[in-house]
Structure 1
Amino acid sequence: MAGAEERRSLLGDDDDYGESDPGPPTDRTMLAVCDPTRLLHRIVVLVFMCFLGFGSYFCYDNPASLQTEVTQDMNLNTSQFMQLYAWYSWPNVVLCFLGGFLLDRVFGIRLGTVIFSLFVCVGQVIFAAGALLNRFWLMEVGRFVFGIGGESLAVAQNTYAVNWFKGKELNLVFGLQLSMARLGSTVNMNIMGWVYNRMADLIGATGPTTLGAALMIASATCLFSFACALVLGYLDKRAEKILKKEKGKTGEVIKLTDVKDFPLSLWLIFIICVGYYVAIFPFIGLGQVFFIEKFNFSPAQARAINSVVYIISAPASPILGFMVDKTGRNVIWVICAVVTTLIAHMMLAFTFWNPWIAMSLLGVSYSLLACALWPMVAFVVPDHQLGTAYGFMQSIQNLGLALIAMAAGAILDTRGYLFLEVFFSACICLALIAVVLLYFVDLLQGGELNLSAVARASLQEEARLQKEATLDSE
């Protein structure tokens, strides 16, 4: 679930979207909470907007929060367990290109959001039913269906944000959405073990039935988000009638022929993205048992520390995003994030130091990388290629996550956790090599990616004036 919300949440400049246009005046006798032009109504919309993806993020890491229970109750090895993450990623290798198109041209934002949230609900119910019936293949089908809706729902969520909060509120809204996503992941990590234990007490035994019941309860969060999609659709349709505004568009224009024109710096950004994220999400997916076996933690302690990355990311992402916006120097910040992540993985691999230290470093560096890396795409490709570039970036990220999830499971079954941590460290080293190369490539090309915020603003103003002068001369 990294791609969509992070690249949209941390991209760009408030001014890209212009000031909010409240549209035609409305009846001022209308209550503020009912008036689409008033702040109170927009806050109500924002609440539903933030909870739109809560169920999806809560259920995405259900396997990680119940790793021991899933493997024991379903009689799986680690390689089979990690297929649950691979099956989520496979549909998004393609849907990253199609999600925006479906929202813009086929379904529309309101119907599209309802359909994608319904896929998330149905996928989670199938996943839970697979456990209840003790059919692992059905659980895999459920994760595939869940994946069809998950990433596209994030695109829809951010389209709503752009449609309702154009102007100076937009980055704050994106930051709040990202924080809510991480909150969903954190709550999942810390509550699903308790839910499983309560189900075991009620049923009187552990096993597939208990696991399925716990996962079915988790699906209630997806139903809640589905209800939010329905309410949001109603509020958006109502506002469209009152304000006579245009339907929201994702703004993504996907042309695969643009790939041949991508510069070297963009391909290096792709390598950094894949090399980095494949060492984060598969690690969290396998983290619970790692902390139990290496550090003798209880299952509750293991779940808690496994959620530290998300706990830190929730408040840190908006703060670090603001810091990167104000300082610039994106490549330097990416280097800092990658090096810190490498140190954290090496601490987990080769020391018995308190893992809270390494996981805290991992949480900060994960948030910092998202803030600094994803916006760089907009600096190296023209506007008309942004949709294609981000779609391709998310596509290869999901391809990498699917392949590495399977590889990580196989490595753990045959070589153990130490070799797995070395493997993750090697992935981070690949990202580090790519970011160092990016620094020198950017330096040779004029250094725009690593400009300070002041220098970048000056350069953008210069380009704007030059464009205006060209238009005037014509």
Structure 2
Amino acid sequence: MEYLNIDIKQYNLINSIYSIPNIIFPFFAGMISDKLGLRISILGFTLIMFLGIIIEYFATIQKSYIFVLIGVSIYGIGSESMSIIGCSFLSAWFFGKELSLSLGIYVTASYLGTVTANWTLPPLANIYDSITLPYLICVTVTFIALVCMIIMCRIDKKAQDIEFQIKLNNKQKLQQEQKNTPKAIINSTNEIVNFGIQDKEGTLNFSEFRVKSGIEGTEIEDNLTQDNSKYSETQEQINNNINNNQNQNKNQEENHEDAHEMHFSDITKLKNVQFWLINFIFCFVAAAFFPYLNNLNSILQEFYGQGPIQSGRILSVLTVEIAIFTTPLAFLTDKIGQKTYFYILSSFFLTCAFISHLIIPTCPDSSCSYFYIPIILVGISFSMLSAVAFASVPLIIRPKLLGTAFGLQDCLEQFGMAVSPIFVGHIMDYELQAGNYIFLYIYFLILAIIALVFSIWLHVYDQKKGGKLNKITQNENTHQPEEQKSLIQNQNQM
């Protein structure tokens, strides 16, 4: 704030400007990905991220607050849209328990980046008395991310080509099986006879052939009857295989294409009450968590006597928690189910965290460490929410609407992240003069209690509807095409 000569309200506006465009933009991002494809879209949004961070870098050189806002806004559009398309990639690549675990790792990786930034960038800014070097490092890291994205898209294209080849081979195999249909061989006449039974004069039915050929009541008749019976069973099996293959191909095309196709009209199809309750929980928790995270440095320095470097490292405790616990918790929910209890516990721990902030004493002389209690509780809370929030959606939403569902979930999260910092900025500006942040903690506490109420509602409603969210995730996905199963089996054997 000192470097750009801005106050606490302007600082919180930076956090809001990141989220404001993303209240609605993920829907446009979904439509763009539908027109251009996932690979081109994710590369395009990564380029937008890169452009945004470059603008921020030059804005810090010029000490221009306006251009910082522009850069953050552009970066936010690219980052959140890329994140949504990343979820679509994971939904196409992984199934069942694999999907939950992959989404958990996806969230964990993002927070590992936050931890690394908190530990490395503030000391560099302090040593060189400038934030331009940390921003230059961010530019470099974003460029590396762009290169990794190009590599990922090439791998995805190769996997798609292999999958297409497997699909083509299976189709050719079925056609060959149909072409090489078993035929009854009549040894007495040395003629090949199909199920229509042919002789030199034309097609006969089986009864006429028995009489005309003189095989009635002989061993040849018994053998021919068995051959025809085997043929009938084989033909029926081939027809069933062809029908199953056609249905699988149709399902594969629908799941691969429609799962990522997003339209505004699709919102009207998302009538699942559990889905909306999850989104409301996510929105209110995000409205409390992210402003708290963004202003924790200021809280630690103003009321607990921590310096910029120390407060940055203390802040990393929270993000380390999320990075460490999210993936194991996601794996645990796949093993035991009970996802609605995780929502309740997440909101409960968040409520306890802000109650503890109201109770523990402040110590501007840095003589106490009570502040670790709410920080640890907040970290546990958001870890539990991250473990189930994304993984719950495929359990209650049809595959063809997953793209819309993920986009809407992100929009509501961004709404909370956009609106809440504006209120937080005004509250902190007022309370900084009073020498405490009591009303700030009360504001966060109200949001946590609302999330807790929605969590209990979610549990009760889900139980009435059969407890789908609390069931153990199955290993198999009924929507997974046979070609992909074959591809996975082949890769496991290599």
TM-score range, shorter chain: 0.7 to 0.9
> Within the alignment, does 1:426 sit opposite 2:355 as a pair?
no
8 Å CA contact retained: 1:276, 1:338:
yes
Distance 1:348 1:424 in 2: 10
- 1:302 shift after superposition: 0.8
Distance 1:211 1:220 in 2: 15
- 1:377 shift after superposition: 3.6
TM-score, length-normalised on structure 1?
Answer: 0.72
Distance 1:334 1:236 in 2: 34
Distance 1:405 1:289 in 2: 14
8 Å CA contact retained: 2:31, 2:263:
no
- 1:276 shift after superposition: 0.8
Query: More deviation in 228-237 or 291-300?
Result: 228-237
Q: List aligned pairs for 1:347-386, cutoff 5 A.
A: 347-352=356-361, 354-386=370-402
Q: Supply the AA of the counterpart residue of 1:313.
A: I
> Within the alignment, does 1:126 sit opposite 2:126 as a pair?
no
> Within the alignment, does 1:405 sit opposite 2:421 as a pair?
yes
Q: Supply the AA of the counterpart residue of 1:228.
A: C
Distance 1:162 1:386 in 2: 8
> Within the alignment, does 1:96 sit opposite 2:26 as a pair?
yes
- 1:150 shift after superposition: 0.1
2:313 aligned partner: 304
Aligned in 2, Cα 1:250/1:173: closer, same or farther, shift over 3 Å? farther
Distance 1:321 1:167 in 2: 12
1:15 aligned partner: none
1:330 aligned partner: 339
Q: Supply the AA of the counterpart residue of 2:336.
A: T
Aligned in 2, Cα 1:379/1:113: closer, same or farther, shift over 3 Å? closer
Q: Supply the AA of the counterpart residue of 1:110.
A: R
1:148 aligned partner: 77
1:87 aligned partner: 17
Q: Supply the AA of the counterpart residue of 2:70.
A: V
Query: More deviation in 135-144 or 376-385?
Result: 376-385
Aligned in 2, Cα 1:436/1:235: closer, same or farther, shift over 3 Å? closer
1:186 aligned partner: 115
Aligned in 2, Cα 1:325/1:219: closer, same or farther, shift over 3 Å? same
- 1:451 shift after superposition: 3.6
Distance 1:101 1:315 in 2: 34
Aligned in 2, Cα 1:171/1:325: closer, same or farther, shift over 3 Å? closer
Q: List aligned pairs for 1:233-382, cutoff 5 A.
A: 233-240=153-160, 244=164, 251-260=259-268, 262-352=271-361, 354-382=370-398
2:145 aligned partner: 225
8 Å CA contact retained: 2:278, 2:389:
yes
Report the 3-state secondary structure (helix = DSSP H, G, I; strand = E; otherwise coil) of the residue aligned with 2:418.
Answer: helix
Distance 2:121 2:27 in 1: 33
Distance 2:27 2:275 in 1: 17
Q: Supply the AA of the counterpart residue of 1:257.
A: S
8 Å CA contact retained: 2:84, 2:406:
no
The one-character-per-residue Cα deviations of 1:365-419 (angstroms, maximum 9, x if unpaired) are 2111122333334444444443333322221221121011111111111124221
Distance 1:250 1:402 in 2: 30
Aligned in 2, Cα 1:249/1:184: closer, same or farther, shift over 3 Å? farther
Which entry has the higher C-alpha Rg, 1 or 2? 2
8 Å CA contact retained: 2:338, 2:469:
yes
Query: More deviation in 316-325 or 373-382?
Result: 373-382
8 Å CA contact retained: 1:252, 1:386:
yes
Report the 3-state secondary structure (helix = DSSP H, G, I; strand = E; otherwise coil) of the residue aligned with 1:254.
Answer: coil
Q: Supply the AA of the counterpart residue of 1:371.
A: A
Distance 2:471 2:376 in 1: 27
Distance 2:103 2:469 in 1: 24
8 Å CA contact retained: 1:344, 1:361:
yes
Percentage identity across paired residues of the two chains: 23
- 1:258 shift after superposition: 4.1
8 Å CA contact retained: 1:127, 1:142:
yes
Distance 2:335 2:393 in 1: 18
Aligned in 2, Cα 1:373/1:169: closer, same or farther, shift over 3 Å? closer
- 1:91 shift after superposition: 2.0
Aligned in 2, Cα 1:179/1:252: closer, same or farther, shift over 3 Å? same
Query: More deviation in 419-428 or 388-397?
Result: 388-397
Aligned in 2, Cα 1:275/1:175: closer, same or farther, shift over 3 Å? closer
8 Å CA contact retained: 2:101, 2:331:
no
TM-score, length-normalised on structure 2?
Answer: 0.70
Aligned in 2, Cα 1:449/1:342: closer, same or farther, shift over 3 Å? farther
Q: List aligned pairs for 1:95-114, cutoff 5 A.
A: 95-106=25-36, 108-114=37-43
Q: List aligned pairs for 1:32-51, cutoff 5 A.
A: none
- 1:249 shift after superposition: 5.6
- 2:465 paired residue among 446, 453, 456: 446
Question: Unaligned 5+ residue runs, structure 1?
Answer: 1-70, 201-209, 462-474
- 1:279 shift after superposition: 0.8
Q: CA RMSD in A?
A: 2.8
- 1:167 shift after superposition: 7.6
Question: Unaligned 5+ residue runs, structure 2?
Answer: 168-252, 362-368, 479-494
Q: Supply the AA of the counterpart residue of 2:392.
A: M
- 1:423 shift after superposition: 0.6
Aligned in 2, Cα 1:162/1:255: closer, same or farther, shift over 3 Å? closer
2:125 aligned partner: 196
Aligned in 2, Cα 1:258/1:113: closer, same or farther, shift over 3 Å? closer
Distance 2:278 2:344 in 1: 12
- 1:193 shift after superposition: 0.8
- 1:256 shift after superposition: 2.9
Q: Supply the AA of the counterpart residue of 1:448.
A: G
Aligned in 2, Cα 1:163/1:269: closer, same or farther, shift over 3 Å? closer
The one-character-per-residue Cα deviations of 1:308-340 (angstroms, maximum 9, x if unpaired) are 222011121111011111222222221111101
8 Å CA contact retained: 1:91, 1:144:
yes
The one-character-per-residue Cα deviations of 1:160-206 (angstroms, maximum 9, x if unpaired) are 44555568755544433332211101011111111212322xxxxxx
1:470 aligned partner: none
Distance 2:394 2:101 in 1: 19
- 1:437 shift after superposition: 2.5
Q: Matched residue pairs, number?
A: 377
- 1:85 shift after superposition: 1.5
8 Å CA contact retained: 1:272, 1:434:
yes
Aligned in 2, Cα 1:408/1:448: closer, same or farther, shift over 3 Å? same
